């Protein structure tokens, strides 16, 4: 692990919505909501939103680049915003809600500029990318009630994110595009039935239930990294079992009332693949959870191949 932490500053509209996507990921030390880019010292929330200070709402992230590279932070940032909107973000209008990347070093500037050019040429957006890339300025911490808002006011946060149009925009623009016919050709019959039709493979008669090699397990559909061999253990149930995902944002939970039972289903976040279920009978000293996952939903990437296959940023898991 690196001992040299760095800061990253992003303005992505309402800062309430810019904490959860980055929070509690490996290598993320802290996330602070605040104001930057203006001409008034120690501005208040009310001053900023009345557009009298020149500041933008922003978040400042302290991170370990050896674990969570700046490139990934920038990639995640794009996936939270509409970078073509020069007048604000979604329902929030005005300069204080416009988007910007504030760089803290020449390397960050180069990464941000390169990423912006790649996004512009990707064809994902028809209109020009207007997000500014600017040198970091003084960052003023926002009032306590605005810190970790998504945790303190969960219901209102979800309602606001949905009502503002941000949640639907993100889903529409960044969800994995699945072609059923292409998937049927690419996946085996059991892989398709498990990931797309919520089937369950047979216990003990599957590829990874007793697999012990070092590496990571990714979504068979999208390649999204999901679990590490470091968190795998033998639960005796006949399916691969893990104590946690690599990052909590990579999976999502759904209520499952099928087969006369009440369970918590686990799906991949990006491709919405059915993976399995999570139970509260895992090892107590490792969090108490058991992620019981179908082998058919997974593809294994050996530790030695992670770098060449695009997962080099996760090699810290085995250091």
Backbone Cα Rg of the chain: 21
Choose the catalytic residue: 8, 10, 12, 14. 14
Residue 185 CB partners (closer than 8 Å, separation 6+): none
Whole-angstrom distance, CA of residue 115 vs CA of residue 112: 5
Whole-angstrom distance, CA of residue 317 vs CA of residue 229: 9
Whole-angstrom distance, CA of residue 235 vs CA of residue 307: 30
Whole-angstrom distance, CA of residue 38 vs CA of residue 31: 20
User: Which three-class secondary structure state does DSSP give residue 230?
Assistant: helix
Residue 245: CB atoms within 10 Å: 23
Query: Which of 89, 20, 31, 29 has the alpha carbon at shortest distance from 59?
Result: 31
Q: 14 catalytic, yes or no?
A: yes
**Burial class of residue 221, CB neighbours in 10 A (0-12, 13-18, 19+):** buried
Whole-angstrom distance, CA of residue 47 vs CA of residue 54: 10
Whole-angstrom distance, CA of residue 150 vs CA of residue 307: 34
Choose the catalytic residue: 18, 101, 292, 306. 292
Query: Which of 163, 111, 75, 70 has the alpha carbon at shortest distance from 83?
Result: 75
Torsion of CA 32, 35, 37, 39, to 10 degrees: -140
Query: Which of 111, 162, 117, 156 has the alpha carbon at shortest distance from 6?
Result: 111
User: Which three-class secondary structure state does DSSP give residue 81?
Assistant: coil
Q: Which two tokens stand for residue 77?
A: 């940032």
Instruction: Name residue 57's beta-bridge partners.
Output: 35
> Which amino acids are annotated catalytic?
14, 292
């Amino acid at each position: 692990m690196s001992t040299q932490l760095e800061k990253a500053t992003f303005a992505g509209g309402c800062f309430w919505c810019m904490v959860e996507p980055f929070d509690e990921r490996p290598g993320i030390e802290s996330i602070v909501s605040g104001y930057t880019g203006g001409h008034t010292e120690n501005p208040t929330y009310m001053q900023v939103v009345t557009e009298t200070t020149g500041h933008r709402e922003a978040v400042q992230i302290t991170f370990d680049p050896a674990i969570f590279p700046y490139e990934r932070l920038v990639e995640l940032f794009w996936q939270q915003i509409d970078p073509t909107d020069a007048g604000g973000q979604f329902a929030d209008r005005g300069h204080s809600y416009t988007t910007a990347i504030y760089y803290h070093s020449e390397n960050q500037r180069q990464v941000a500029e390169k990423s912006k050019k790649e996004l512009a040429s990707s064809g994902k957006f028809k209109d020009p990318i207007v997000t500014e890339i600017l040198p970091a300025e003084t960052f003023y911490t926002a009032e306590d009630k605005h810190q970790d808002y998504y945790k303190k006011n969960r219901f209102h946060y979800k309602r606001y994110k949905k009502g503002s149009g941000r949640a639907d925009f993100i889903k529409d623009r960044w969800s994995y595009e699945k072609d059923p016919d292409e998937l049927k050709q690419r996946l085996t019959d059991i892989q398709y039935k498990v990931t797309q039709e919520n089937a369950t493979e047979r216990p003990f008669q599957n590829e990874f239930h007793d697999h012990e090699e070092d590496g990571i397990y990714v979504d068979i559909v999208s390649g999204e990294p999901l679990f590490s061999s470091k968190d795998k253990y033998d639960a005796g149930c006949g399916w691969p079992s893990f104590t946690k995902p690599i990052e909590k944002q990579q999976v999502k939970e759904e209520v499952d009332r099928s087969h006369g039972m009440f369970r918590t289903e686990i799906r991949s976040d990006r491709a919405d693949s059915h993976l399995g279920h999570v139970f509260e009978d895992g090892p107590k000293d490792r969090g108490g959870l058991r992620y019981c996952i179908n082998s058919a939903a997974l593809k294994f990437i050996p530790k030695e191949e992670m770098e060449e296959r695009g997962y080099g940023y996760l090699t810290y898991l085995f250091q």
